[in-house]
Structure 1
Amino acid sequence: MTIINNTQYRKPLAGSNVDYYDTQAAVDAIKPGAYATLPYSSRVFAENLVRRCDPAMLTDALSQIIERKQDLDFPWYPARVVCHDILGQTALVDLAGLRDAIAAKGGDPSKVNPVVPTQLIVDHSLAVEHAGFDPEAFEKNRAIEDRRNDDRFHFINWTKTAFKNIDVIPPGNGIMHQINLEKMSPVIQNRDGIAFPDTLVGTDSHTPHVDALGVIAVGVGGLEAESVMLGRASYIRLPDIVGVELTGTRQPGITATDIVLAITEFLREQRVVSTFLEFYGEGADALTLGDRATISNMTPEFGATAAMFYIDDKTIDYLRLTGRDEEQIALVENYAKTAGLWSDSLKTAEYERVLTFDLSSVGRNIAGPSNPHRRVSTSDLAKEGISGVVENEEGLMPDGACIIAAITSCTNTSNPRNVIAAGLLARNANAKGLMRKPWVKTSLAPG
């Protein structure tokens, strides 16, 4: 349960039955007009301070944000914790051990629970033993996973009933970040009659996937996640916040993967390590939420900490597409427009550093997987020695042959258009008699 420390600046949210914290009033009380110049991330951090910070240090903490200073740590209380099964299970084992210790001292072990809502998504352990040309591949791989992980899954299932404030998504439902994007994130929280921005820490480097929704999501280690889980503040300093203006529109036939590989190369050259990136501009406005998620998902490949997009009509469309409750959708739009988190409200935001990327410059390209920043245009494959004439011996695998053809990872599967396009390509190739070589192992895996 969220602990509300402050009452100052708490006001009814017009057109709803909940309250909110008027962060603009708090910031402008220190420096008139300052709120209008703050970047999106700064506005979210400021709201967290106004709602949760010790009143004695509130002015000093807000001043760090207003003056763009990085002298003092300030407390950040993420709204929730998202774990995948590996590190999440470790954290729950620690809590179970703490219960044993409490019981040994004569205490009530049932009182040991996460303070902050915690979501455990079991997805990262799936191995593809049976390839996609087997029509029963999914069922067979799931059976192997269940057998190998029987003890682990038994413990995880026990935590669902043993602990409060834990929501477990069982295996076979998809990858952690996609579930977080499509289902788990409300964008705007509504707890104890108070609306506030959804924020989270997650135990995986691609946790910033949901930055595409305007949700600050940061990947952390297991110990920090446990600390947040138990209600402790994560003390941070104001990050470098870099504006990334996206101009132009994509060329026909260019996928989100093409775009993100080009942007990754560009941002790595610009040295954005540990920064918060905020994408905006006409190019960003035109991207679908799926396209934005593909970009945000690559945050660790940029070297950044977060890759944010503003809340706008595309966000609302996506929430409706993914079956969010209409009342919740209305709250997101109402709150974002009231609190200055709607895209139109950010036109006056000022950034210490602005980068510009032209989406119309992106062509077809490939990269990785081990070096995602080493982008190669498809027109240069022969020149780079990647494609060319291969001498085949009947029945033998040639040098340089592909042995794995996989659609996997949250970067690709975050965008349904990419997956559907791959399926259509495969269907059309199959119709023309093109078949995989016998040594190629195919897979479509959620993690």
Structure 2
Amino acid sequence: MNFSMNFSMNKAYRKPLPGTDLDYYDTRAAVDAIQPGAYLKLPYTARVLAENLVRRCDPETLTASLQQIIERKRELDFPWYPARVVCHDILGQTALVDLAGLRDAIAEQGGDPAQINPVVPTQLIVDHSLAVEHGGYDKDAFDKNRAIEDRRNEDRFHFINWTREAFKNVDVIPPGNGILHQINLEKMSPVIQSRDGVAFPDTLVGTDSHTPHVDALGVIALGVGGLEAESVMLGRASWMRLPDIIGVEIVGRRQPGITATDIVLALTEFLRNQKVVSSYLEFYGTGVADLTLGDRATISNMTPEFGASAGLFYIDRQTIDYLRLTGRDNDQVRLVEHYAKTTGLWADSLEQAEYERVLTFDLSKVGRNIAGPSNPHRRVSTSELAQQGISGKVENEPGLMPDGAVIIAAITSCTNTSNPRNTVAAGTVSEESQCPWTYP
């Protein structure tokens, strides 16, 4: 068995992408050939899934699969081939151990073990093993914590480093570089892939529930279990039926001083009440323009807390500006904008998209909130803290903290790390409080 095969692509509807040396698949033509004018009404998710079908689906079942999307039916399974797999070091390592074991079995039978490789590009980020033993008040805290991490994980890191050299299609981001979702958003996602002379949307599965963090870029990214990720890694389709695609119209503008965390906690409460379990959410509307990519990432990251599977934003000027800000190659940034505008994935191209269900959320009504830690949907307005017995007046000697008091400025890690406003604000609060602990 050879797991080094190339991606197979169909020939129908493959056309030159104007102004480039790449081809693309004209999904609009394929959809409109079945039902004229249907593409214009498709939501963003449906357009991306349809492109995947036109490019990769068995030609004999293509029409029937596209009809499920066009007619909003959920009667047949159709294949989805994610462009890449993203793993953290715990679950990703087990998948690579399986491949290493398969190599041993092939070698025992006299075969070439080097032929066993992931078919789909796989990125493994080592970020789930760090334990903070030295606080931020120690100027050498980073180096000391990293040394402890290396010592505790010596055998595991040795195997992970071996996989980087041994396997094709495996890219390892070593420890000390950041959190999986932050790296995925800021560095790893091209938004539009170009492979084998063809441009197509970036899509992925990841072995972490907060993989939809990168949905903020308009990238369909789903959190899955290790076995499903391994199956995709080996080139197998992830079979699905058309998901419930819900439009979430964002209106209004935030009040001064309101952070993305305030917004997402209010939004979590709202969406939980609206019963969006397993749905694909698409955020759009006049209020979206006021949200930075960091704000959008904060929202998309909380997708599992909404109960949904995906939380997508359209590709627009904010997306392009963010790609430039994070150092993406200029040619790649131009490709993203050109492809999105050509194929109907640009925000302005989705004004006539129709949703089976639309929810409206008003940013102007969001106040300052707290929630959690275990129940992020249990939002409490800061104006009600005393009323609910969470805060109250403390009598103590001037200049002295009361016994047992601890001041901590903290923000939930992967929800906020790609939002500079939130991380800087947390750090500022901790500095002003003379607090030795921050968890950015």
Instruction: Check whether TM > 0.5.
Output: yes
Is contact 1:2–1:191 with CA below 8 Å preserved after alignment?
no
Question: Deviation at 1:391?
Answer: 5.6
Q: Structure 1, residues 84-122: CA drift from partner, whole Å, max 9, x if none? A: 000000000000000001111111100000000000000
Equivalent residue for 2:268? 264
Equivalent residue for 1:216? 220
Counterparts of 1:395 and 1:37, CA distance in 2: 61
Equivalent residue for 2:425? 421
Q: Structure 1, residues 112-146: CA drift from partner, whole Å, max 9, x if none? A: 00000000000011111112222222111111111
Is contact 2:298–2:415 with CA below 8 Å preserved after alignment?
yes
Is contact 1:261–1:366 with CA below 8 Å preserved after alignment?
yes
Kindly indicate whether residue 312 of structure 2 is the aligned counterpart of residue 314 of structure 1.
no
Equivalent residue for 2:309? 305
Q: Output aligned runs, 1:167-206, within 5 Å.
A: 167-206=171-210
Gaps in structure 2 of 5+ consecutive residues = none
How many residue pairs match? The answer is: 434
Counterparts of 1:267 and 1:135, CA distance in 2: 42
Code of the aligned partner of 1:328: Q
Is contact 1:80–1:201 with CA below 8 Å preserved after alignment?
yes
Equivalent residue for 2:434? 435
Counterparts of 1:102 and 1:289, CA distance in 2: 46
Counterparts of 1:70 and 1:152, CA distance in 2: 43
Counterparts of 2:402 and 2:113, CA distance in 1: 62
Equivalent residue for 1:42? 46
Counterparts of 1:375 and 1:274, CA distance in 2: 22
Q: Output aligned runs, 1:12-23, within 5 Å.
A: 12-23=16-27
Structure 1 stretch 373-382 or stretch 46-55: which is displaced more?
A: 373-382
Counterparts of 1:42 and 1:218, CA distance in 2: 15
Kindly indicate whether residue 313 of structure 2 is the aligned counterpart of residue 335 of structure 1.
no
Q: Output aligned runs, 1:125-164, within 5 Å.
A: 125-164=129-168
Counterparts of 1:26 and 1:324, CA distance in 2: 31
Counterparts of 1:149 and 1:132, CA distance in 2: 22
Counterparts of 1:443 and 1:378, CA distance in 2: 21
2:392 corresponds to which of 374, 388, 392 = 388
Counterparts of 1:142 and 1:444, CA distance in 2: 16
Q: Structure 1, residues 241-277: CA drift from partner, whole Å, max 9, x if none? A: 0000000000011000000000000000000000000
Equivalent residue for 2:294? 290
Counterparts of 1:311 and 1:159, CA distance in 2: 35
Code of the aligned partner of 2:218: G
Q: CA RMSD in A?
A: 1.5
Tell me: CA distance 1:2–1:104, structure 2 relative to 1, closer, same or farther (3 Å): closer
Counterparts of 1:395 and 1:65, CA distance in 2: 61
Question: Deviation at 1:392?
Answer: 6.0
Q: Structure 1, residues 358-403: CA drift from partner, whole Å, max 9, x if none? A: 00000111111111111111111111111113466989743xx447
Question: Deviation at 1:405?
Answer: 4.3
Counterparts of 1:191 and 1:175, CA distance in 2: 27
The TM-score, its normalising length taken from structure 1, stands at: 0.94
Is contact 1:5–1:54 with CA below 8 Å preserved after alignment?
no
Q: Structure 1, residues 128-172: CA drift from partner, whole Å, max 9, x if none? A: 111222222211111111110111111000001000000000000
Counterparts of 2:335 and 2:401, CA distance in 1: 62
Matched position secondary structure for 1:143: helix
Counterparts of 1:6 and 1:348, CA distance in 2: 29
Q: Structure 1, residues 410-433: CA drift from partner, whole Å, max 9, x if none? A: 101120111112233334x2xxxx
Matched position secondary structure for 1:42: helix
Counterparts of 1:24 and 1:163, CA distance in 2: 37
Matched position secondary structure for 2:437: strand
Equivalent residue for 1:81? 85
Code of the aligned partner of 1:443: T
Q: Structure 1, residues 282-339: CA drift from partner, whole Å, max 9, x if none? A: 1112211110000000000000000000000000000000000000001000100000
Question: Deviation at 1:444?
Answer: 3.1
Counterparts of 1:99 and 1:217, CA distance in 2: 29
Code of the aligned partner of 1:79: A
Counterparts of 1:344 and 1:82, CA distance in 2: 30
Question: Deviation at 1:72?
Answer: 0.5
The TM-score, its normalising length taken from structure 2, stands at: 0.96
Counterparts of 2:289 and 2:296, CA distance in 1: 10
Is contact 1:201–1:219 with CA below 8 Å preserved after alignment?
yes
Tell me: CA distance 1:44–1:226, structure 2 relative to 1, closer, same or farther (3 Å): same
Matched position secondary structure for 1:385: coil
Identity %: 78
Matched position secondary structure for 1:127: coil
Counterparts of 1:334 and 1:152, CA distance in 2: 43
Equivalent residue for 2:439? 444
Counterparts of 1:295 and 1:372, CA distance in 2: 13
Is contact 2:413–2:439 with CA below 8 Å preserved after alignment?
no
Counterparts of 1:65 and 1:402, CA distance in 2: 54
2:94 corresponds to which of 76, 90, 93 = 90
Equivalent residue for 2:353? 349
Question: Deviation at 1:3?
Answer: 1.5
